[in-house]
A = this chain, B = another copy of it.
């Protein structure tokens, strides 16, 4: 273990435990998510002077990650995904300054690689040769890819409705894939039981305290990239709550370490058809599990395990939440691709739809600035992309047909 890690602390009751292979709080059960605590004063002394020399990937923040100094890092390059200043999209959305950070550029094409990288290292550190998770898709393909890279066997539980490209990614990486006839929640419970029964390491980021530390690297990167010019808002789509929770933690740490002088406000975006975290945020009550119905499969979570962390981080940032419909998500896919050249999956661009709505509703003002994290590549769910995209022209190979179609195109563009 990293010598800067102090303990695991329950985010519900505050009880602390040694940073070992432990999942939730003994007193609070599944609700008692454990949060890794660090010695920031000592980290400050090391990281600020040394950072400039390090490679641009997630491992540059090694003191802030719960991994051993002797760990052999996966060869895949993860993190430090590009940030783009996207003027045309800013104009469309109606905001003065807008950036997108394309996390679809990670090795298995989603944000989740940040967490899986930590997952496989913890599995190896704790002596496992098999690792498992339940996932709506991206965490799974990410775990399968990272496991392949480091030579672990992976066991993946996916709900029935997971998109085909994500399943294919799993299989090609050699994962043992269980497609569970049921919901994400059922797949999750089954994976948990199986880990206990077969002694597999459990990568489920909802309850594994270490995974979220990988996710926070996006927050660390944003802070280091912008410094005190950090945008007013960071916009993130919300499913299980771990992603926004992790990013929020990373941003807070960077303020503590002096990289930024304020933490941006977080805008958490849920799909209208899967909004239990949104409901808990605004009702100020505990989370009530819901049914889910949205094409944004990566955030279609009815029983989010990390809702408490998400709500806490959003509140502490003075941020807020918003929901978007599937139609708004499809529009966001189209518009983001056409105005920026970045093709995001539905959950990946939900932030674009959310920011637009927040501007329209005057929750965010025109003269503020924002950064949206595009959490996954659109090739992961072409079924939705096709719905969003429109159609091609089927033609015989002759110029006359082209001339006819061009007339149509000109007419269409004029209207």
Task: Give chain A's interface residues, CB within 8 Å of chain B.
Answer: 74-77, 82, 84-86, 88, 102, 105, 107-109, 145-151, 158, 164-165, 167-174, 176-182, 186-187, 189-190, 193-194, 197-198, 333-334, 337-343, 377-380, 382, 385-386, 388-399, 402-403, 405-406, 409
Contact = CB atoms under 8 A, between A and B. Distances in A.
Given A75-B85, A178-B405, A181-B394, A194 B148 contact: no
B339 A181 contact: no
Contacts of A170: 392
Contacts of A334: 172, 174
A6 to B, nearest CB: 32
Given A85-B75, A178-B405, A409-B176, A389 B171 contact: yes
A387 to B, nearest CB: 10
A179 B406 CA distance: 14
Chain A contact surface mostly: helix
A391 to B, nearest CB: 7
Q: How many copies does the complex hold?
A: 2
A397 B190 contact: yes
B164 A382 contact: yes
14 contacts: A76-B342, A172-B334, A172-B343, A173-B337, A173-B341, A174-B334, A180-B395, A181-B395, A181-B396, A189-B397, A190-B397, A193-B399, A197-B402, A379-B379
B107 A167 contact: no
Nearest to A398: B190
Contacts of A390: 171
Contacts of A377: 109, 379
B194 A399 contact: yes
A168 B340 contact: no
Contact of A391 (B82, B171, B342): B171
A141 to B, nearest CB: 9
Contacts of A178: 392-393, 395, 402, 405
Contacts of A405: 176, 178
Contact of A172 (B107, B337, B394): B337
Nearest to A378: B172
Contacts of A146: 341
A177 B339 contact: no
Contact of A174 (B168, B181, B338): B338
A4 B90 CA distance: 37
Contacts of A174: 334, 337-338
A343 B84 CA distance: 26
A145 B341 contact: yes
Contacts of A338: 148, 172-174
Q: Give 7 closest A-B pairs by Cβ, nearest first.
A: A149-B341, A171-B389, A177-B392, A379-B379, A174-B338, A77-B82, A186-B397
Of A146, A164, A168, A190, most buried by chain B (CB within 10 Å of CB) is A168
Nearest to A105: B105
A179 B393 contact: yes
A372 to B, nearest CB: 14
A81 to B, nearest CB: 9
A341 B76 contact: yes
B169 A378 contact: yes
B379 A165 contact: yes
A116 to B, nearest CB: 10
Given A168-B385, A179-B393, A197-B403, 14 more contacts: A75-B86, A105-B107, A107-B341, A167-B392, A169-B378, A174-B338, A177-B393, A178-B392, A179-B392, A180-B396, A186-B397, A187-B397, A190-B402, A377-B379
A343 B173 contact: yes
Contacts of A380: 379
A221 B340 CA distance: 26
Contacts of A389: 168, 171-172
Contacts of A145: 337, 341, 343
A329 to B, nearest CB: 13
